[in-house]
Chains A and B, each alone.
Chain A
C-alpha cells in the first residue's frame, strides 16, 4: 500500500513539474509566472515525501528542509516584488519590470537573487535544495523522476529569464523613470528573502 502511495506521489511530482513548466511558457503575467515556477519547486518538495513512503519511514530530511526554506524565501520575496511592480505599473504583466535595473538597481539585484533560487541556479538555496533532492532521487534509482524534474527545471529557467531580459535589457515604457517606491517593511522583507536565498546557497548546511 505504501509503495503504491509512493509511486503516486512521485508520479504526481513529475506531472506537476512538467505541467507547471509548460504552462509557464505562454505566461505573460509576472505573478502567474512566479507561481508556476513555484509549482516546479513544489514538485521537487514532493519527491522526499515519495521516497519516505517508499522506505516506510516518514522523517524530516535535510534536503527537504533546505528546499522548503529556500522555497518559502524565494516565493515570498518574488511575489512581494511583483506586487510592488504591479502597483507601480498599473498592470501585472512582465513588461512592468522593464528597465528595473536602471530605475531601482538594488531591487533588481534582489529580484535576480530570488530568480536564481526559483530557477535552481547556483549559488542559491534553491540550487542546493534541488541538487540534494535530485541526488536522493538518483541514489534511489528513480532516474525517470530525476530526468522529468530536470527537464521541467530547464524550461522554467528559460521562462524565468524573461524577468532578467526585462530588468536588464529593456527600457521602462512608463511616463516617468523614477524608482519603484517601497515601504520600509517591504524593503526589509524583500532584502531578508533575497539575502536568505543567497546565504542558503553559500552555507547550505546552515539550517541543518
Chain B
C-alpha cells in the first residue's frame, strides 16, 4: 500500500465518490438494481482510503506529507497608487489533514456509507437521489480537508445545494416548506460567512513575493492568513525599499472583531445553534432518513468545526472575550432543546430537538477554552454523529414499516422487532450518557472543561443531562414496551442491509466510550498545540 504515498491521497478521498456519480449517470435506466450497489461501493472508496490514512497518520506528526497545494487562478488587481509592483488575488486548491480533521473525516466517510445503505428506502427516482447524495458526501468530506478559506466555502455551498434538492424532492409531505426554510436560513449564514471570509482575505491574506518583479498576493490560504494574524503587519517589517508609499493595512482591532462576529454568526446558523435553529428540526422531520442522518451526523459538526478552525483558532482574543456568552448560549441550547425534545410526540421531532440540545454541550466545551473542554467538544462531536445517525436509522426503519414515527402509533415493539428494539434502546442509553458508551465521555470531558472556568454553568448543565435522560427514556418506554398494536405484530425485524450499519454504528459508540483515544488521541496533539497558541496569544494580547 506504500504506493498510496505517491498519490494525492486527500484529493482521492474527496473526489472518489465522483466515480460513483459518473458510473450512475452512465448506467442505462433498465439496470436499476445496480444503482444502489454502485452508490454503496462508491461510498466505500473514501472510507477505505480514510481508514488507511488513519492507520498511516503518525501521532504528533505534521500533516505536511499529505498536504496538497495547487495554484488555481491568479487575477490581476488594479495597482494602487504608490505601489511599484503587481497586485494579485491568488486562489489555491489546498487540502490538508491534522488531528482535528482526521476524526471528523472518518466520521463523514463512515456515515457516508451508512447513508448510502439507508437509501434502500428510496423508491422514487433512486438514481438521481444517489447522485445528489454522493455530491453531498463530496462537499462534506471536502470542507473538513480544505485548507483554503474560499475552497472551504465552495465545499460548504456544494453541500447546501445538494441538501436543498434532496430534502425538497425526496422528503415527506412538508418537504418543500422544509427545503425553503433550510435555504433561507443557510443562505443568510452563507452570506455572513462569505463577507467574513472576504474581510479575512482582504485584511489578513496578504503575502509578498520578491522575484524579478515585486508581487503582492491576496491569498485565501489558511496558513498565510493564520501567520499574518499571529504576527500582524509582519510583511510591513519586511517591506523592501523602493517600492513606493503604499502599504496594505493589517487588520485593525475593529476589523478583527467584525470578521470574528461574521464568522461566528455564519457558523452558528450552519450548525443550527440557539436562536437560529428552527430550520433544522423541520428538516429532520421531513428529510429522508439517509439525508437526516448525514446532516445531523456531519453537517451540524461542520458548523462547529468551522468555528473552531476559522473563528477560535484565528481570533483567540475575541473568542476568549465572548467565551462566557457562548458557554451560556450552549447551556440554554442544552436546556431549551431538552425541554422541547421531552414535549414531542413524534420520534423524528424528538430526535431533532435532542440533536439540537446535545450540540449545546459541544459549544460549551469549545467555550471552556482549555484542553479538556476542547477534547470533550471533539469527542462529543464524534459521539453525537454516531449516536444520532444510529437513532435516525432506527426511526427511518420504523417509518418504512409502520408508515409513521408518532409515538402513539408505535407500541410494544419489543416482541415483533426485538433487534430494532434492542438497537433503539442501546442508542437511547448512549444518548442519555450511560458510562461505557461515547455519550458519557463526550458530556463528561466537555463539562469538566467548563467546570474549570464556569462552575455555575457546569452545574446548570447537570440539570440538562437529567432532562436528557428523561426524554431519552420517554422515547424508549412506550415504544418498546406497552401493549403490542395489532398491525405491528406482523411486522418483520430489520433486514441484513439495515442491521449491518446499525451494528457498526453501535460498535463505534461502544469503542469510543471504552477507548476514546482510538479516535481522539490524534486530536490531542492538535488541540494541545492550538491551546498553547491560544494561551500565548491571550498572554501576548
Stretch with Cβ within 8 A of B (4 or more), from A37-45, A58-66, A78-86: A58-66
Q: Which residue of B lies closest to A152 (CB)?
A: B191
Given known A-B contacts A154-B191, A205-B73, A121 and B161 have beta carbons under 8 A apart: yes
For residue A164, CB closer than 8 A to chain B, the reply is yes
Is A74 located at the chain interface by the 8 A CB criterion?
Answer: no
Stretch at the interface among A12-20, A134-142, A180-188, A190-198: A134-142
Interface residues of A in 162-194 (CB under 8 A from B): 164-165, 168-169
Looking at the assembled complex, report how far the CB atom of A77 sits from the nearest CB atom of chain B, in whole angstroms: 19
Q: Is there an interface contact between B187 and A158, defined as CB atoms closer than 8 Å? A: yes
- Measured between C-beta atoms, what is the minimum distance from B96 to chain A in Å? 20
A11 at the binding interface (Cβ < 8 Å): no
Establish whether residues B91 and A134, one from each chain, have CB atoms under 8 Å apart when the complex forms: no
Distance A37 CA – B83 CA, assembled complex (angstroms): 37
Please tell me if the beta carbons of A52 and B157 are within 8 angstroms of each other in the complex: no
Q: Does B49 contact A (CB under 8 A)?
A: no
Chain B CB within 8 A of A2 CB: no
A84 to B236, CA, bound (A): 57
From the candidates A61, A151, A158, A168, name the one contacting B168 in the complex (CB within 8 A): A168
B462 at the interface (CB under 8 A from A): no
CA distance A123 to B258 in the complex (A): 27
Q: Secondary structure at chain A's binding surface: helix, strand, loop or mixed?
A: helix
B150 within 8 A of A: yes
- Name the distance in Å between A110's Cβ and chain B's nearest Cβ: 15
- Determine if B175 and A66 form an interchain contact, defined as CB atoms under 8 angstroms apart: no
Q: Which residue of A lies closest to B187 (CB)?
A: A154
Residue of B nearest to A141 (CB): B249
Q: Chain B binding site: helix, strand, loop or mixed by DSSP?
A: helix
> Do A131 and B191 have beta carbons less than 8 Å apart?
no
Q: Which of A51, A150, A158 contacts B194 (CB 8 A)?
A: A150
Q: Does A158 contact B78, Cβ atoms closer than 8 Å?
A: no
Verify if A4 is at the interface (C-beta below 8 Å from B).
no
| Interface-centre pick from A51, A116, A128 (highest chain B CB count, 10 A) | A128
Interface 1/0s, chain A 116-154, versus B by CB < 8 A? 100001110001100110111011000100110011011
Is B150 a contact of A51 with CB atoms below 8 Å? no
Contact residue range for chain A?
Answer: 35 or more
Interface footprint category on B = 35 or more
A208 close to B (CB within 8 Å): yes
Contact A208:B168 (CB < 8 A) given known A131-B198, A158-B187: no
Chain A residue numbers with a CB within 8 Å of B188 are: 154
Q: Is the CB of B75 within 8 A of A205?
A: yes
Residues of A within 8 A of B504 (CB): none
Of all chain B residues, which has the CB nearest A55?
B81
Contacts A134-B194, A164-B165: A61 and B184 contacting too (C-beta < 8 A)?
no
In the complex, A158 Cα to B80 Cα: how many Å? 36
**B contact residues around A96 at 8 Å (CB):** none
User: Are A51 and B78 in contact, with the CB atoms below 8 A?
Assistant: yes
A123-B175 Cα distance, complex, nearest whole Å? 26
- Of the A-B pairs whose beta carbons lie under 8 Å apart in the complex, a sample of 29, sorted by A's number, is A51-B78, A55-B78, A62-B75, A62-B76, A62-B77, A62-B89, A63-B77, A63-B89, A116-B161, A121-B157, A128-B91, A135-B89, A135-B198, A135-B218, A138-B203, A139-B202, A139-B248, A154-B187, A154-B191, A158-B184, A161-B183, A164-B165, A169-B168, A169-B176, A203-B73, A205-B73, A205-B74, A205-B75, A208-B75
A139-B77, A151-B191 known; 10 other A-B pairs, CB under 8 Å? A135-B198, A139-B202, A147-B195, A150-B194, A154-B187, A165-B168, A168-B168, A169-B169, A169-B175, A204-B72
